[in-house]
Chains A and B, each alone.
Chain A
């Protein structure tokens, strides 16, 4: 079904020979390599000075590389998706495309697949840099695979949102602005909401019984936050399982519940559902005959 989608084939052909795509690959892997080599150099200098291998530094290298990769990926995605459908309108190829037998679903699906193919190549192309963490050991292949898999799934969510905004926009610039605004809301905005009462100093003055309060509803916005999910996933890999609770429950007044216990799994489901909703809205955007 994937390779038979004409939109996907067209997109991959067109994007693979574009200068923009090559630049994205170069900058993405270049920055990652510079960061990786810098931290590795620091580790080696430390080893030379102290004559011991500091394995926590290797863990740090892994965390830095993977976090950086994930952040860059999320920053690149709205740019990749913003023009996917609105660009067709701008270049005035949209009418020709939708007048064929292609269904709105196959158009959206083809566009999404093409973006996910780029994400996949970006992730695979970063493997040589990520493998720096294997020089001294301490990180398993499975950890890298889980991180890459996590990034891929979360990218699906961000890409779906970008395609949705692109399907409803007539101009790629507007779609890009809305996509980035959405990204900043779900990443920074949800963190802000979670900490709003603390920031505004609205915390209850009542004497709290430690660990017995229900978690307030606004903290659950974090389930939509892909960076937070990835942060939780990374921390789970390095053995800090209670990172979610320690962020939300920094004063230890809340009672853990099933959601905090299975945060990563639930947030992935929530974000997948949101991605499907975005794709459905994108389809309506194409169906919409103005």
Chain B
């Protein structure tokens, strides 16, 4: 009884001041709600900054790692083209040796002995070997080229700039002024290098070999030319296959296809194909193109076909969107003037949709350019020294080259890998920017 009374009174009180307390409650909660709002925005900002941070870290990391790869150290060595060292017969200086003799001459001994001459104090065998390790093994090929081009050099003494070994190169790129051992350079080598440096026989140059050489086991000689040519050949195939097929398919689906189950099936199929993992396309290439059709392994032809199949959905979807965006009045006007369906499509719809189609194609090509996994399946991971010139030559592409170098134990390849990544990213950025540019231009025209 008393209880009921009490609650009744309470209710009365509440009712009395309800106007008041509701505003109070709302006011009170407003503060909380506003702080929640602020917190939510903060989370959003944090998420975006995380993205920015990641882009920044990624580029800074790769950039700093890549920087050293663009420079190389060269060492000046006085090479004596001594006939005895070269073991050229006859040793008589009056007789001009023929090409055969020059080809068979002992150039590595010449480099060795010339180098020993520069450091006459070194006599122990181990030290001599260490001394030879300062130079890249390409030195002997360089002097061979010089001598075969100009046999008059025989018997002369010439100062030549020779490429330093990659260990020496990374030593010079670190803090070397103390002349102390570090990395794979021992104390003695460090001393000799300091001597050379002080006498001005060491020079830092821009690394042109990186762009003109193909892959090599020696980091100081490895370059991206082979991978670049492979990439270009593969991309030609991708463009030649995926662009015409993709655009034709999009035109058919948008302009001609009847609305039936068959068309639906094609559509669903294309959408699903766009999300199939790229490595599965590699399995297709291996099982069908290589094992059934017998196309050559590691060839850019096979790589190009696999990548085309992979990029087709991207191109078709983008082209369809672009074709769909062409206003219907264009079609109706053309039909009204007596054009056939095909004429409407090819002469009016296609040109208007072209910018959008090109944007989609560039994006698809950029995707193909950065793809690695399916190419591993079809054997494009081989170590390839020759620059591929034909679609059936064994080739490798930039991303695979990056993968191969990243796997390599030699520390000097770290910088090479990063530098190759920078080159690849530069290509991709150019492609993406041109796609965005095309798109914005297209949007302006459409308005």
The answer to whether A and B interact is no
